[in-house]
Structure 1
Amino acid sequence: MEAVSNNDPWFTINIDATGRKGLSALQKCTAALRMLAYGMTADQVDEYLRISESTARKALTHFTKGIINQFGQHYLRKPTPQDLTRLLAFSEERGFPGMIGSVDCMHWEWKNAQQHGKGSYNDLNVLYRLPLLIDLFEGRAPPVNFTVNGNQYGMAYYLTDDIYPKWATFIQSITERQTAKARLFA
């Protein structure tokens, strides 16, 4: 919150014409985080945080731009060879050789991601212009060699569910979970 709010004057507390204090940076960032984390709409956070729908939308826009500006170069980039080694080791320990992430944990709206190359961005679609996500949405993954059940594979993958395209970079979970092993995997 501090990194984002210290670099954007929109987060400062203003005094209105009646002398009342406006919303704090904590309230604005909390509204943005609740919308991102729980998929809440702007009008859902107004009762909880006493923030208007339009201010909640602005908070989300300012917050996401602030996160990208403050942390994008370090965290929202393509994985380095060291990152890949770490991610692959982490996934291998858990029984997923070759996996570098789970798309479902990211909560992307796929319909918006498909627009990344069309030049019509709203404020939040700035996320889809990040190098990491452009590769993801275009079905590209780093070259990685691994073996599963005696079969050799040459590309890393992301674990997904069945709402994503049937690309080699997206491995869908088991849809018909009849056995205990299949339910555990899914």
Structure 2
Amino acid sequence: MSKTLFLHIVNTLAAREEFFQERPDAIDRQGLTTLQKCTSAIRQLATGQTSDIFDEYLNVAETTGHECLKKFCRGVCEAFSAEYLRKPTTNDCQQLLLHHEACHGFPGMLGALTACIDNGRITSRHGGGNT
């Protein structure tokens, strides 16, 4: 994830959700930063590991890490769903196809090959050869 995208998500969540704002904890010590909370959630999503693995790395306890993940997912969906979590339009698909063809030289990434595995061989939907 680019730094710009990460900071955009962090700043959006901090502006919308009190949980992601930096504030003192129960004994008036500075609590976790917005960056710590969002990093914990993204690391859990990226690695599939439980929140307790990041305790030493980010100083985020297991229960707090779990709460970060839940609130991060809910916050991202609420903040960005109208623009990003929608079905792609015809124009979106065309843009993806053009970009992928230009970068990878493989036209038709959105469904040209529907592979199925049959006895360890991969065949295409169009009856192509085995790999």
Give the TM-score, by structure 2 length: 0.72
Equivalent position of 1:97 in the other structure: 107
Deviations 1:65-86 (A, max 9, x none): 1111111111111111110101
Equivalent position of 1:34 in the other structure: 43
Distance 1:17 1:85, change over 3 A: closer
Aligned with residue 84 of structure 1, among 93, 100, 104? 93
Percent of aligned pairs with the same residue? 40
Runs of 4+ in 1 over 4 A off after TM superposition: none
Distance in 1 separating the partners of 2:87 and 2:67:
28
Aligned with residue 115 of structure 2, among 171, 174, 186? 171
Q: How many residues align?
A: 111
Gaps of 5+ in 1: 101-155, 160-169, 177-185
Equivalent position of 2:75 in the other structure: 66
Deviations 1:67-106 (A, max 9, x none): 1111111111111111010111223332433213xxxxxx
Choose between structure 1 and 2: higher strand proportion. 1
Distance 1:20 1:71, change over 3 A: same
Q: What is the CA RMSD across the aligned residues, in angstroms?
A: 2.5
Distance in 1 separating the partners of 2:52 and 2:34:
19
Distance in 1 separating the partners of 2:101 and 2:16:
39
Counterparts of 1:89-168 in structure 2, within 5 Å, are 89-93=98-102, 94-100=104-110, 156=111
**Matched residue SS, 2:81:** helix
Distance in 1 separating the partners of 2:30 and 2:101:
52
Deviations 1:164-183 (A, max 9, x none): xxxxxx5369x67xxxxxxx
Aligned with residue 53 of structure 1, among 58, 62, 74? 62
Equivalent position of 1:4 in the other structure: 13
Give the TM-score, by structure 1 length: 0.52
Choose between structure 1 and 2: higher helix proportion. 2
